[in-house]
């Protein structure tokens, strides 16, 4: 309740009532929910466009040295543990490799298990190969070894098709 009282002194009663309604909806302990929401409202009040910001889809950039930038997103719901680990590890940098013109991949040091694996992928999808810890970007509709789906490339997929073995690929969060 101390946080609630501190919040009340800094903001109006309308904001305070909104927080109480949110906390009743949350499954967290009331004090923890208030702390989380207070930090969010105080830090971002008036600057967040909720239609543009998504918690489940995180924008990422795939930068190929000397060739350009492709934009994509990591979808947390596809494979939550895999996505969270990849996002915590960003930026990831490595040498790009090509597998039979079906997908481009970059090896990582991540050791993750199987999670919601699939064997069929569409052009532009991103997956994590648990066999060798690689992040794969599919260039064609492909049936492959089981992989954890992670997201998709939204723009400039043709840059991935131009990748040569040994090119440096950097995966990082979009600003």
Classify the C-alpha dihedral 133-135-100-122 as positive or negative: positive
Taking only the tens of pLDDT, the chain with its 175 residues reads: 344 444 444 444 545 555 455 445 445 554 554 444 444 443 444 444 444 557 789 999 999 988 899 999 999 998 999 999 999 999 999 999 999 989 999 999 998 999 999 999 999 999 999 999 999 999 999 999 999 999 999 999 999 988 988 899 999 998 7
- Domain positions in the chain: 2-44, 57-173
Three-state DSSP state, 129: strand
Distance CA 142, CA 122 (A): 6
Q: Write out the two tokens for 97.
A: 């490799």
Q: Quick check: 67 and 168 in contact, CB under 8 A?
A: no
Res 11: pLDDT: 47
57-173 in CATH: which number?
2.40.100.20
Distance CA 25, CA 123 (A): 39
Q: Quick check: 147 and 68 in contact, CB under 8 A?
A: no
Give 43-66 as a DSSP string: HHTTT--TTT--SSEEEEEEEETT
Q: Quick check: 4 and 13 in contact, CB under 8 A?
A: no
- Helix, strand counts (H, E) of the chain: 5, 9
Three-state DSSP state, 134: strand
């Amino acid at each position: 309740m101390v946080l609630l009282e501190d919040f009340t002194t800094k903001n109006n009663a309308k904001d305070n009532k909104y927080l109480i309604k949110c906390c009743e909806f949350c499954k967290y302990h009331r004090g923890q929910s208030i702390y989380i929401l207070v930090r969010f409202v105080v830090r971002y009040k008036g600057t967040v466009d909720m239609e543009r910001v998504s918690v489940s889809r995180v924008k990422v950039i795939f930068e190929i040295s000397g060739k350009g930038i492709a934009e994509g997103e990591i979808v947390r719901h596809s494979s939550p543990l895999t996505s969270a680990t990849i996002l915590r590890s960003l930026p990831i940098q490595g040498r790009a490799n090509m597998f039979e013109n079906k997908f481009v991949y970059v090896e990582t040091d991540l050791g993750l298990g199987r999670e919601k694996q699939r064997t069929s992928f569409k052009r532009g999808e991103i997956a994590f190969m648990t066999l060798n810890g690689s992040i794969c970007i599919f260039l064609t509709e492909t049936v492959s070894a089981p992989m954890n789906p992670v997201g998709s490339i939204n723009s400039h997929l043709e840059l991935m098709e131009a990748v040569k073995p040994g090119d440096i690929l950097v995966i990082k969060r979009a600003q």
